[in-house]
Amino acid sequence: MILKNKTVKAINGVTIPQLGFGVYKITKEGEFETVISEAIRIGYRHFDTAKIYGNEDVLGREIQKSKIPREEFFITSKVWNTDHGYKATLKAFEQTMNKLKVDYLDMYLIHFASPNYLETWRAMEELYSRGKVKVIGVANFEIQHLEELRKHSKILPMINQIETHPEFPQNELHEYLKEHQILHEAWGPLGQGNKALLEHPVLQKIALAHQITVAQVILRWHIERGIIIIPKSSNLKRMKENSQIFDFELTSDDIEKINQLNTGKRYSINPTGYIINPIYNKLMKIFI
């Protein structure tokens, strides 16, 4: 099946599907296999995983089982906090490659700006220069972290994957990313499925007017902002609905009403100012 999708280009010209599929918290092997095989059947080709998610190996197996050529997939993974540093990052990358059963990654990200991320970025630059990764970037980085990288890097991050949803649109960071030609990718684009957000009367009214779901309204809002999105769901009906966001457009009035929902509310931990330690890592397993 061919899924309607839009694409955006990284600063180096690499094309990235704007709609992807997140696999965080889908860890039960039987469930994961069903979800991924169905996602592939629906037409998803962009998959976002990470070492800390614990499902790189199963994702790799399902992609292989699909018999679809590797080059038709866009696969992202991330280096975790405990693997920061030049040598540790290179080792973690090889482990990820082995689990996914691939010989290159489409995108590799630093998961958080934990201490020593500058040395980690040096390894990312090395992987990119060797052709092992097509797009290198970061996740959960704030402006201060990106500014530090700008001072010490040969290659700037090409993308920043951050919590973004109508109640937390990341306006200041979004504008910074645009200014520096860094792509904006949203994790938790539906506010992690928060009931209050999905039942918000403004969003419900817009959805009713277009005869679509509130989730589709939110995802389309991201698309029209030029943001890459990786919604996650193990509900097969919602997986399909989330993919059906390219046959309609929101009006300028719709977009303005959604923009006014900004409350600055995060549904996860603020990544700024946290010291990475074992307790923090346990918290991250809960909240990321």
> Who contacts 225 (Cβ-Cβ below 8 Å, separation ≥6)?
169, 174, 184
pLDDT level of residue 271 (50, 70, 90 thresholds): confident
Task: Look at residue 108 and tell me if it is in a domain.
Answer: yes
Residues 112-128: what's their mean pLDDT? Answer: 96
Q: Binding site: which residues?
A: 111
Q: Binding site for substrate: which residues?
A: 111
Task: Look at residue 16 and tell me if it is in a domain.
Answer: yes
Alpha helices in the chain (DSSP H): 29-42, 56-65, 86-100, 117-129, 143-152, 171-179, 195-198, 201-210, 214-224, 236-243, 252-259, 278-287
What does the pLDDT read at residue 273?
57
> Who contacts 259 (Cβ-Cβ below 8 Å, separation ≥6)?
166, 169
pLDDT tens figures, 27-61: 676 789 999 999 999 999 999 999 999 999 999 99
Task: Look at residue 210 and tell me if it is in a domain.
Answer: no
Pairing mode, strands 183-187 and 105-110: unpaired
Task: Look at residue 204 and tell me if it is in a domain.
Answer: no
Task: Count structural domains, the chain.
Answer: 1
For residues 240 and 45, give the distance between their C-alpha atoms in angstroms, rounded to a whole number. 13
pLDDT exceeds cutoff 80 at 71: yes
Task: Look at residue 75 and tell me if it is in a domain.
Answer: yes
Task: Look at residue 242 and tell me if it is in a domain.
Answer: no
Of 18-32, 89-103, 157-171, give the lowest mean pLDDT range. 18-32
What does the pLDDT read at residue 193?
84
For residues 110 and 120, give the distance between their C-alpha atoms in angstroms, rounded to a whole number. 8
What does the pLDDT read at residue 96?
98
Tell me, yes or no, if 53 is annotated catalytic.
yes
CA quadruple 117, 119, 122, 124: dihedral positive or negative?
negative
- Radius of gyration over alpha carbons of the chain, in Å? 18
Residues 23-27: what's their mean pLDDT? Answer: 83
pLDDT exceeds cutoff 70 at 19: yes
Higher pLDDT, 275 or 173: 173
- State what percent of residues in the chain have pLDDT above 90: 86
Structure tokens at 255: 């977009």
Domain boundaries, position 142: 12-193+225-234+264-287
For residues 230 and 100, give the distance between their C-alpha atoms in angstroms, rounded to a whole number. 19
pLDDT exceeds cutoff 60 at 279: no
pLDDT level of residue 2 (50, 70, 90 thresholds): low
Residues 233-237: what's their mean pLDDT? Answer: 92
Pairing mode, strands 21-22 and 105-110: unpaired
pLDDT exceeds cutoff 70 at 220: yes
Higher pLDDT, 124 or 3: 124
What does the pLDDT read at residue 1?
60
Average pLDDT, the chain: 93
Residues 196-205: what's their mean pLDDT? Answer: 96
What does the pLDDT read at residue 287?
43
Catalytic residue among 53, 108, 117, 128: 53
Residues 159-167: what's their mean pLDDT? Answer: 98
pLDDT exceeds cutoff 50 at 215: yes
Task: Look at residue 54 and tell me if it is in a domain.
Answer: yes
Which residue do the tokens 């997986």 mark? 239
Higher pLDDT, 204 or 194: 204
pLDDT exceeds cutoff 50 at 286: no
pLDDT tens figures, 81-114: 999 999 999 999 999 999 999 999 999 999 999 9
What does the pLDDT read at residue 113?
95
pLDDT tens figures, 249-266: 999 999 999 999 999 999
pLDDT level of residue 181 (50, 70, 90 thresholds): very high
> Who contacts 36 (Cβ-Cβ below 8 Å, separation ≥6)?
23, 47, 58, 59, 62, 63
Which CATH number characterizes residue 96's domain? 3.20.20.100
> Who contacts 49 (Cβ-Cβ below 8 Å, separation ≥6)?
23, 24, 55, 56, 59, 75, 76, 77, 78, 100
**147 within 8 A of 172, measured Cβ to Cβ:** no
**229 within 8 A of 223, measured Cβ to Cβ:** yes
Structure tokens at 146: 């990106």
Task: Look at residue 110 and tell me if it is in a domain.
Answer: yes
